[in-house]
A = this chain, B = another copy of it.
Amino acid sequence: MVVGSAVEVLSEDQAWELLATRQLGRVATSVGDQPEIFPINFYAGDGKIVFRTAAGTKLSEIAVNNRLAFEADETDNAGGWSVIAKGRARILVSTRDIEAADELPLHSWVPTLKYDYVELTVEEISARRFTFGPEPDRYGID
């Protein structure tokens, strides 16, 4: 018998609801064909994902190419979900934007006195829920 694990494609609303349950995600950047990936703590809402970053690699890459991919997930033995978002990022510079971001429940992974807020305006978001189970038989034998 071929028994597959279940995969369910969720709605965009469900994707945002799942993001609201997590703080830890990852962003991927791309400069000169070299992908980079970083863990971040994030806040998601209103079509945007906001995170803090210390000065350095992440910020300099956003300045060169502001396209970001973002991922957050959660799994246990029974299954899990993953949300992927893509869009363009900007560093918050106005006092008004920074003060608004200061009110978000955001923490940086790297403690530092000097940090900036990055705001990703989400253009695409998708979510899938997985239920782990027996593998399908690769060779199709019942």
Contact = CB atoms under 8 A, between A and B. Distances in A.
Interface residues of A, number: 47
A127 to B, nearest CB: 11
A90 interface: no
A7 B111 contact: yes
How many copies the complex holds: the figure is 2
A46 to B, nearest CB: 22
Given A7-B110, A109-B82, A111-B4, A39 B71 contact: yes
B33 A73 contact: no
Contact of A28 (B2, B37, B73, B111): B37
18 contacts: A5-B111, A6-B111, A7-B109, A26-B37, A28-B30, A28-B35, A28-B36, A28-B37, A28-B69, A30-B31, A33-B67, A35-B67, A36-B86, A38-B71, A39-B73, A107-B135, A111-B133, A113-B137
Interface of A: 2, 4-7, 24, 26-31, 33-39, 65, 67-71, 73, 75, 80, 82, 84, 86, 107, 109-113, 115, 128, 130, 132-133, 135-138, 140
